[in-house]
Amino acid sequence: KQEVTQIPAALSVPEGENLVLNCSFTDSAIYNLQWFRQDPGKGLTSLLLIQSSQREQTSGRLNASLDKSSGRSTLYIAASQPGDSATYLCAVITQGGSEKLVFGKGTKLTVNP
């Protein structure tokens, strides 16, 4: 059974700092990995999708990497801003999983002005 773990559970940084969020998964036979953002009381916003054959994806100040063999992914946020404050969720689709996402518990990020 696929399990996804995110470390740390919470992170507080000053504005402008670069930071890394970590995600690990137990079954390396994944179809893809997705990073989401969730604001309080809101749904999920898709940030980056990495296919199993890819090593990284970039969108603006965000860069996500994937090391499938070791079961790890990182989300790098450059020059953090207070507007980046949210919970960041990592989720994977296991091969043969019919698009079913398995989520980690998330990292709650606070960027202080």
Quote the distance between the C-alpha of residue 10 and its chain's center. Answer: 13
Minimum distance between the CB of residue 40 and another protein, rounded to whole angstroms?
Answer: 10
Q: 18 or 110: whose CB is closer to another protein?
A: 110
Q: 53 or 99: whose CB is closer to another protein?
A: 99
Per residue, the 3-state secondary structure of 37-81, as one string, reads EECCCCCEEEEEEEECCCCEEEECCEEEEEECCCCEEEEEECCCC
Residue with tokens 């946020």: 77
Write each residue from 34 to 73 as x if it is in contact with another protein (CB under 8 A), else as -, in one continuous string.
x-x----xxxxxx--x------------------------
Q: Give the separation between CA 81 and CA 103, rounded to whole angstroms.
A: 25
Q: 42 or 55: whose CB is closer to another protein?
A: 42
Q: Which of 104, 107, 109, 111 binds another protein (CB under 8 A)?
A: 104
Q: Give the separation between CA 47 and CA 37, rounded to whole angstroms.
A: 7
Q: 18 or 100: whose CB is closer to another protein?
A: 100
